[in-house]
Amino acid sequence: MLNSVFFSIGGFVWAIALFKRELLIRKESFRVILATSAVLFVIGLALHFSKAVGNAYYGALLSPLLSLALFRLFRKSFLRRYSREPMDTFLRWEKGLDEDRIFNIVYFILAGLLLMFSAAIVE
C-alpha cells in the first residue's frame, strides 16, 4: 500500500508532463512544481538516511526533481534546435511532428525509468 503511494507521488511531474504540459513551461507554475519537487527530494533523502520506513520504495520521492530537470534539459535543447516549444503528440498523427514525437518518447521513457530505478536503487 505504501509503495503505491510513494510511486504515485513520485510520478507527479511525469503526470503533469503528460496531462498539462504547459504548467511545466509557465514560470509561475514551474516555480511551484520545482519547490514541491525539491521538498519531496529532501523528504526522500531524509527517509533514506533515517531508515524510518522499512521496506518501502521511498526512493521514488527523489524522482520528481530529477524528471523535472530532465524535462527542462530536453526542452532547452528542443527550443535551441527547433525554435519552438515541443508539442504533445498523444493521438495526433499529422505530418511534421516527428521531432516532437521523439522528444515525447525519449522523455517519457527516461522519466519512467528514473521513477523505477530511483525507487529500486535506494532500496
Per-residue pLDDT of the chain (123 residues; tens, 9 = 90+): 678 888 899 999 999 999 999 999 999 999 999 999 999 999 988 888 887 666 678 889 999 999 999 999 999 999 999 999 998 888 778 888 899 999 999 999 999 999 999 888 876
List the chain domain ranges: 2-122
pLDDT for 119 equals: 82
pLDDT for 59 equals: 86
Rounded to two decimals, the pTM is: 0.89
Rounded distance, CA 119 to CA 40, Å? 13
pLDDT for 94 equals: 83
Rounded distance, CA 82 to CA 67, Å? 22
User: Which cell is 36 given?
Assistant: 514541491
E strand or H helix that includes residue 11: none
Q: 89: helix, coil or strand?
A: coil
Helix pair 27-50, 63-82: axis angle to 10 deg: 140
> What letter represents residue 42's amino acid?
V
pLDDT for 54 equals: 67
Going by C-alpha positions, the residue among 54, 62, 74, 56 that lies closest to residue 12 is 62
